[in-house]
Structure 1
Amino acid sequence: MSDLKVRFSGPRSGRWPMTVGQKNVLEWISPDLPGPADILSTMVRVPRGSTMDAVGAALGALIGRQEALRTLLRDGEQLVRASGTLLAEVVEATGTGQGWFPPGRAFDPAADLPVRASVVTRSGSPFLVVLHVSHVAADLSAMAVLRAELAALLAGRSLPPAAYHPADQAVHELSPAGRRRLEGSVRYWARQVAERPLCALGLPFRFPGARGHHHVLLGSRPAAEALARIAANTGARPPAVVMAAFAALLTSWTGAPGCQLHCLCNNRFSPELRDYVGTVAQETIIPFTASPSFLRSASQTNASALAAYRYGRYDPARLTEAKDEVERARGTRCHRDVVVNNTTGHARVILPGDGVEPGVGDRVFGAPAEFDIYRLDGTLGCGLGLDARLATADETAGILGGVERLIVAAADGDVDPAGFGVPPAGRGPGWARTRSGWVDLAGVQAAADLALGPGVARVEAVGDELIARVGRDTDVTAAAGAVLDTVLREGRHGVVAPGDYVRATD
């Protein structure tokens, strides 16, 4: 069957600056091979008896009403097209439908309409529409809006006009109030980066030859019941309780006093953004501090999350500049170690019936540790991936299983997280704890030798300070700058520029 020609037109077109959300996605989206989050997909059932013309009209109406779906991004601007034609592939259903329509090649934001559509037929009649949307045009919340609106249009229901679009968001961000908010967010995040070490996984590669991540999944009805009780007793939101349980066991395993949880914030707290189709979700950092009281940790994590979400929108270029300044001041890279993905309401993962099982499929992880929250009601569903160079499969399963045991135990009263999870990971004699966190002394020495030449500086930990002893004729300022540049260029976990240089006196 030939492709379905979907004609669309909208009430407005033109050029506007990009939003910070669009800039944020363009920083990490792949120009060649789409990554796991570059293209978002959804499926909508077609009402029985619908014609192919009706499906085309519904798709055209959806693209016409939502400017994000007819927008190109070029040279710092968003170009909203007035009209055009989308070719939707039409395929007769075969098999179970798994893999009917893979997302295909990466979208080119400067040239491609950021939406693809496919229509699945049975005996020639449409019964399913599949949408693939570039992340520059929609985030997960926006995909839920598109799914609901397409279902309504396919059913013949009328919709009120879409009143707020990326162009309107760009205008707001350039207003005095919008600028103040964005600058305030950059200052907030720069302060967070400066005050808290991000190298929670400052661990040696115990298994340097390993590849990929160990991946495990958890499904637990008892933990879901316990979670609801903890949330009711503490006032903490269920996702914050689950994050606190995972972070408590992770820090116990790494021997760190805390960690930073990199989480997406949907940024849809304003009324005009409730049904907004565009990308406004951005990554936030939720600080976690280890405590012998799990309920205290859960409450503190909840409060930290609410504070972080206030600053969820920011200019990524400005934040990168601020972070670069902080990294030079601290003498270490700010690693993105621990990522938490809360995909409740969007995930389609098949969870274990009870307990922890190895994950299946070709899941790709972008950070050393990724913790996924898939489901909270009825069953607690979570996933954990740990870099196989850092952890064993048993440690990965033990940490995730500990999340279940910790939450179930805490429903009956406060508990110390140290009694759950797995034993601490060993670092060996070459590591020391300083104010910068766990430091690989041999790695720092290697960086100093690379920058200055072998033996010019001798690195050691004195108390909680990392110092370098140099000869009396050494230019300390130049040496410190050279070592810092090498440390930042290498970007290795546990490798930190010395905080002080001591010149020999004899």
Structure 2
Amino acid sequence: MTVGQKNVLEWIGSDLPGPADILSTTVRVPRGSTMGAVGAALGELIGRREALRTLVRDGEQFVCASGTLVAEVVEATGTHRDWSPSGRAFDPAADLPVRASVVTRSGAPFLVGLRVSHVAADLMAMTILGAELAALLAGRTLPPAAYHPADRAVYELSPAGRRRLEGSVGYWARQVAEKPLCAFGLPFRFPDARGHHHVLLGSRPAAEAVAHIVASTGARPPAVVMAAFAALLTSWTGVPGCQLNCLCNNRFSPELRDYVGTVAQETIVPFTASSSFLRSVSRTDAAALAAYRYGRYDPARLTEAKGEAERARGMSCHRDVVVNNTTGHSRVTLPGTGVEPVTDGRVFGAPAEFDVYRLDGRIGCGLGLDARLATADETAGLLGGVERLIVAAADGDVDPAGFGIPPVERGPGWVRARSCWVDLAGVQAAVDLALGLGVARVEAEGDELVAHVGHDIDVSAAAEAVVAAVLREGRHGVVAPSRYARAAGGGRSAR
């Protein structure tokens, strides 16, 4: 398999059976086309694109030389709009990774819907498939597709490909090792709340402002919006920076520009707070470009590296903040202006998820925030602040601190240690769970978190037990002490 295929199988594995592995697109059929012409176009599309007839199992990919695609036929009505083919999860080892439906009006085809396994395509590949199907339905001849997932796997197994992938793993291992511990360390102010508050923003003035900022800084439009959100987030959380988990499309090589397969992978873009918003925009743009250089990696090797970092640091490698840039691919209905709440029950995988849906003509963004950490009004205020900050910065540089929501109050039990906010009571509870009540006392000494233990305690074994308990806890603000000092005997052991 390619690393892209491995990556998708890794992150959807726990979701199967479910819709997490499915992407879709819809193509208009030219007037006067027959069902036979639609079938021929679908057959040619699948024939030219090996990804659409590739099965993956036991770590390998297999390209089918022949097969049958059964397309659903749906007659359109005035009220029915769910014309996509079945949403049943794909079995990558047994199912062709494509399904089709043909929507008819009075028996004549007028739309074709495709659903494709994410193992076979990413968002850019879906755009390519939609354009090629439209061309085939119009009777146009396409040049042969020259590069396929099997070709990609051959490159990744070559010495040059292996060096490239190992270099990326080394880079990300260093990023994880240097990442601030629990940069999103916030108290659960509403511990009984469930899910996320979800809001959407639509703004034409912000789109005009982004164009002005891009002209003055030379940054790309997504960096402007990402920097605005990250600046307000760090101001609210009271931390000097954060790391943004972002997808990189990885299509910088010429052979990948028209490639149908899955090559997008997650990268980490570091953000550092600044009193100058325009400086933050330039830094974010540069940080994103640096991260994208290492956007292709073997997910299994990276998981190993992350595990080593977690054990050494005594903290899970949380995905604190996820940023999704789906411009050109989103079907979200945005507000005409301002911020509106959403009650779609969407499940988010991180405490904060920021979605960029549109950048041309109108800014379209979404924010999901863990309901245990914030109120619905705070979530709306944070996203609304993104618009206000961007619009203000179009007239000149501004300090982001004046555009967000008031900083969160943590209470006396929280301290700054190990470059992050730490919940001392939460750490003490994890230590008590690992060693027993009263065996160790945790406190902050300067920028270090220290556990004092009795003279008869095996410090190394205690440290390992506490790290294991903290990793199981998996909660922001709970980290393993960096030093263990004996209460008697004076011995110390660094950890």
- After TM superposition, the score normalised by the length of structure 1 is 0.95
Verify the 8 A CA contact 1:465 1:499 in the aligned structure 2.
yes
Aligned partners of 2:358, 2:432: CA distance in 1, in Å? 50
Counterpart amino acid of residue 251 in structure 1: T
C-alpha spacing 1:496/1:314, structure 2 compared with 1 (3 Å): same
Q: Are 1:342 and 2:325 matched, yes or no?
A: yes
Please point out which of 176, 190, 193 is paired with 2:173: 190
- Residue in 1 aligned with 2:265? 282
State the secondary structure of the residue aligned to 2:56: strand
Percent of aligned positions that are identical: 84
Q: Are 1:327 and 2:318 matched, yes or no?
A: no
Counterpart amino acid of residue 305 in structure 1: A
Aligned partners of 1:118, 1:223: CA distance in 2, in Å? 38
- Residue in 1 aligned with 2:371? 388
Cα deviation, residue 428, structure 1: 1.4
What is the total number of aligned residue pairs between the two structures? 489
Verify the 8 A CA contact 2:71 2:101 in the aligned structure 1.
yes
Counterpart amino acid of residue 43 in structure 1: T
Verify the 8 A CA contact 1:213 1:388 in the aligned structure 2.
yes
Aligned partners of 1:489, 1:406: CA distance in 2, in Å? 39
1:22-42 deviations in whole A, cap 9, x for unaligned? 000000114765556410000
Verify the 8 A CA contact 2:85 2:114 in the aligned structure 1.
no
Aligned partners of 1:215, 1:31: CA distance in 2, in Å? 24
Aligned partners of 1:32, 1:484: CA distance in 2, in Å? 28
Verify the 8 A CA contact 1:218 1:352 in the aligned structure 2.
yes
Question: Where in structure 2 are there 5+ consecutive unaligned residues?
Answer: 490-495
Q: Are 1:130 and 2:113 matched, yes or no?
A: yes
Verify the 8 A CA contact 1:19 1:166 in the aligned structure 2.
yes
- Residue in 2 aligned with 1:50? 33
Cα deviation, residue 101, structure 1: 2.7
Q: Are 1:221 and 2:204 matched, yes or no?
A: yes
- Residue in 2 aligned with 1:3? none
Counterpart amino acid of residue 61 in structure 1: E
Aligned partners of 1:400, 1:476: CA distance in 2, in Å? 47
Aligned partners of 1:34, 1:353: CA distance in 2, in Å? 36
- Residue in 2 aligned with 1:148? 131
- Residue in 2 aligned with 1:351? 334
Q: Are 1:263 and 2:246 matched, yes or no?
A: yes
State the secondary structure of the residue aligned to 1:344: coil
Counterpart amino acid of residue 230 in structure 1: I
Question: Where in structure 1 are there 5+ consecutive unaligned residues?
Answer: 1-17
Verify the 8 A CA contact 2:85 2:101 in the aligned structure 1.
no
- Residue in 2 aligned with 1:6? none
Q: Are 1:87 and 2:87 matched, yes or no?
A: no
- Residue in 1 aligned with 2:492? none
1:70-128 deviations in whole A, cap 9, x for unaligned? 00001000000000101001111123442223642110001111100000111111110
Aligned partners of 2:288, 2:433: CA distance in 1, in Å? 41
C-alpha spacing 1:269/1:150, structure 2 compared with 1 (3 Å): same
Q: State which drifts further: 487-496 or 276-285.
A: 487-496
Aligned partners of 2:451, 2:39: CA distance in 1, in Å? 69
- Residue in 1 aligned with 2:414? 431
Counterpart amino acid of residue 406 in structure 2: P
Alignment of 1:320-469 (within 5 A): 320-469=303-452
- Residue in 2 aligned with 1:11? none
State the secondary structure of the residue aligned to 1:84: coil
Aligned partners of 2:475, 2:196: CA distance in 1, in Å? 18
- Residue in 2 aligned with 1:160? 143
Cα deviation, residue 263, structure 1: 0.5
C-alpha spacing 1:502/1:32, structure 2 compared with 1 (3 Å): closer
Alignment of 1:14-53 (within 5 A): 18-30=1-13, 33=16, 35=18, 37-53=20-36
1:31-68 deviations in whole A, cap 9, x for unaligned? 76555641000000111110101000000000010000
1:172-202 deviations in whole A, cap 9, x for unaligned? 0011111111001001111111112152321
State the secondary structure of the residue aligned to 1:113: coil
Verify the 8 A CA contact 2:231 2:400 in the aligned structure 1.
yes
Verify the 8 A CA contact 1:30 1:106 in the aligned structure 2.
no
Q: Are 1:482 and 2:459 matched, yes or no?
A: no
C-alpha spacing 1:31/1:479, structure 2 compared with 1 (3 Å): closer
Aligned partners of 2:14, 2:220: CA distance in 1, in Å? 37
Cα deviation, residue 462, structure 1: 1.2
Aligned partners of 2:82, 2:122: CA distance in 1, in Å? 22
Q: State which drifts further: 423-432 or 23-32.
A: 23-32
Counterpart amino acid of residue 161 in structure 1: P
Q: State which drifts further: 33-42 or 460-469.
A: 33-42
Q: State which drifts further: 311-320 or 30-39.
A: 30-39
Aligned partners of 1:36, 1:247: CA distance in 2, in Å? 30
Aligned partners of 1:360, 1:149: CA distance in 2, in Å? 36
1:379-434 deviations in whole A, cap 9, x for unaligned? 11111010111110011001100000101111111111111110011111111111
Q: State which drifts further: 103-112 or 34-43.
A: 34-43
